[in-house]
Structure 1
């Protein structure tokens, strides 16, 4: 039977970084059509064996600056340098504590591997994802930093986590049993971060379940607890008292575990909101997500000097003059009351523009806010060009970013459609090319023909 002192961080230290590989224009990496499979030996990960794991390299297309005009003009631009600077600022805001950069949902829709590398360059030590598949994808892209799976993983994937050196959240006794059995079967050991339910009512162990958990852990010699964590439900609302209740509940549960001899190095509670506004949640590790992209979960939270990372643009496909009484779009929800100059834009809900923005939102053209008129369709949307008389066909349209004295962001789309920027960002589809800027160079990735998301 292991002693509780053996429940430590193991082989991954906080200062470990990624092994970088050249990407983008000018890279020496072979193309997706000719690249050999990615391979690694699992002993480089905690509990690894001598088995050799082989995975196909994800398909992708590189497009240089000179080629970019041949692409569809609807493009999401990601400033990776700004993202790195945000990671540095967030680490400072957390008192220098290590960061776990949350890159789930394909890096909030911006390309998980690129976002992960930028965050690590900015000072992050860990990465956080929701799914085993997300963690495996990062491994396939050559990232060796420790990766925590923040969400519940099916017990059937326990062996897969060991194969790829991923640290799961321990959230149930059934998953603990599956992980112990997989480790025994393969002759490995497994490290976990214990997930506690401090008052959010989702996955994790409640206080009354801790005695049974401790007993099960004593019967699982191949599983060691390297961390303890929980999720804050209302930290973005300074007026809510739920955060204080959760902090106390979490502290009580951690103290119970410590009295039982559990002393993991990683104890973490702070999400982006906790990091910005609740110093008592910082503990030994902070987990920023949305703030990496220069967006705060609430305008009520302090800004530690975050830089904008995202800009989203398209171009006017057609301009047409229509008479009074002209219906626009499906369902004729907008009818012109006077002669109107309309701009038809090649972006729709198939790209992630919320359908709810019809007759509600606006875009920025020539320094002016041009209202969206009619319903947003799958591929197109119409805007009123009267505020921008100088607009021309092929002219630029700002969906997110700055145009003159005006700004637009995912928060605007979220407010107009009654949701949150997380949903907006992760809803940008693979039909939209991602253009990356880093270290003075830019490149575009476009994976429409891959049938899957960018990596």
Structure 2
């Protein structure tokens, strides 16, 4: 995290307190003994993985989920010792070897990967390489076939160098209001556990993402894997209505220039917006190279003094332009809020995602590293 310079043009504000509070709030929805994995992949959904991981662990998370080996190693370099599961596939011996060195748990999708991991552990003279097995119950992405799940578990357990600590799958449609697949996936997953001679004793079995966690306690099993909700965003409007999640990120920028233009002036590339009156335009030092999606051009507002100011013209690489004609007190150097709270007004990632036909996850993960993250 960075210190904010008074000359900084734009930045993200991240609240570790909000992340910690969200973690505690969500944990209270779980049955006693159900663990909480904080998913901090994609640099903590753009919030800063190390900051998020530390806040979530303070809030009671027992483990962390990342997408890549590099993300896991970043946490270890920062001194974070909690269990870390790599949720994507690692197939090369070199990556699995780094995983063992970094005390990171790889995800296996089949017996071939398990044998490779076991051979690496044997070369190192270790008989404890913790791994987890993923099954495909309906996502058609990573994971072994669920119909072969019980056999895979037993085959991996037969490899003495490996310690199979977890069995999991991923929900495909849990955030859909008319979802029926989730119960099918749950039944498939449970059938694998029930087919094991010991009923899965000693395995941490997990299925629920944020939507699954908020949808039904029946999906919680031994652990939940929470991403979006940890950052204060509900994965769907029908989920979490009674949960006071706290958004953990705000996007702010400074006014770099104010100019007066006559009626009929074209604004920005392509002149997609033309002023219909003498106008006062404010140039803000943030653009699509920072993560303000160009498809939002002319579709968003920013906040100043609790009021909304429309963004006009095409969003450019490094600047956006606001129509400040009706705001007399906006001056050069003032701070405006693109995402977050100002007075009684709030602009959410969901508002942006709805306006450019995407999802809040993509909005949050899209902010680039030339925008410093500042803890508040």
CA contact 2:147–2:192 (8 Å) conserved in 1: no
Aligned mates of 2:154, 2:80 — CA distance in 1: 35
Deviates more, 1:143-152 or 1:388-397: 388-397
Give the match for residue 203 of structure 1.
142
Aligned mates of 1:331, 1:216 — CA distance in 2: 62
Structure 1 runs not aligned, ≥5 long? 1-23, 25-61, 438-455
Aligned mates of 1:207, 1:428 — CA distance in 2: 36
Give, in angstroms, the shift of residue 238 of structure 1. 3.0
Q: Deviations over 1:70-89 (max 9, x none)?
A: 4x231111111121111111
Give the match for residue 268 of structure 1.
206
* Change in 2 beyond 3 A, CA 1:211/1:231: closer
Give the match for residue 403 of structure 1.
342
CA contact 1:366–1:388 (8 Å) conserved in 2: no
TM-score normalised by length of structure 2: 0.94
Aligned residue runs from structure 1 range 263-342, under 5 A = 263-302=201-240, 303-342=242-281
Give, in angstroms, the shift of residue 340 of structure 1. 1.5
Q: Deviations over 1:82-124 (max 9, x none)?
A: 2111111110012342210000011111111111000000000
Give, in angstroms, the shift of residue 263 of structure 1. 2.3
Give the match for residue 232 of structure 1.
171
Give, in angstroms, the shift of residue 214 of structure 1. 4.8
Give the match for residue 102 of structure 1.
39
CA contact 1:199–1:249 (8 Å) conserved in 2: no
Give, in angstroms, the shift of residue 328 of structure 1. 1.0
Aligned residue runs from structure 1 range 379-398, under 5 A = 379-398=318-337
Counterpart of 2:374 (choices 435, 442, 445) is 435
* Change in 2 beyond 3 A, CA 1:261/1:412: closer
Give the match for residue 73 of structure 1.
9
Q: Deviations over 1:241-288 (max 9, x none)?
A: 1111111111112222x2377423311111111111121110111111
Q: Does 1:122 align with 2:74?
A: no
Q: Does 1:165 align with 2:103?
A: yes
Deviates more, 1:402-411 or 1:218-227: 218-227
Counterpart of 2:365 (choices 389, 414, 426) is 426
RMSD: 1.7
Q: Deviations over 1:11-55 (max 9, x none)?
A: xxxxxxxxxxxxx8xxxxxxxxxxxxxxxxxxxxxxxxxxxxxxx
CA contact 1:351–1:431 (8 Å) conserved in 2: yes
Counterpart of 2:20 (choices 84, 90, 109) is 84
CA contact 1:368–1:387 (8 Å) conserved in 2: no
Aligned mates of 1:295, 1:147 — CA distance in 2: 23
Secondary structure at the counterpart of residue 148 of structure 1: strand
Aligned mates of 2:216, 2:199 — CA distance in 1: 28
Q: How many residues align?
A: 372
Aligned mates of 1:73, 1:158 — CA distance in 2: 42
Aligned mates of 1:161, 1:117 — CA distance in 2: 21
Give, in angstroms, the shift of residue 197 of structure 1. 0.7
Deviates more, 1:130-139 or 1:298-307: 298-307
Counterpart of 2:70 (choices 122, 127, 133) is 133
Give, in angstroms, the shift of residue 155 of structure 1. 2.6
Aligned mates of 1:350, 1:282 — CA distance in 2: 39
CA contact 1:366–1:391 (8 Å) conserved in 2: no
Runs (4+) of structure 1 exceeding 6 A deviation are none
TM-score normalised by length of structure 1: 0.78
Counterpart of 1:181 (choices 116, 119, 122) is 119
Secondary structure at the counterpart of residue 347 of structure 1: coil
Secondary structure at the counterpart of residue 132 of structure 2: strand
Secondary structure at the counterpart of residue 184 of structure 2: helix
Secondary structure at the counterpart of residue 362 of structure 2: helix
Give, in angstroms, the shift of residue 220 of structure 1. 2.2
Aligned mates of 1:219, 1:123 — CA distance in 2: 33
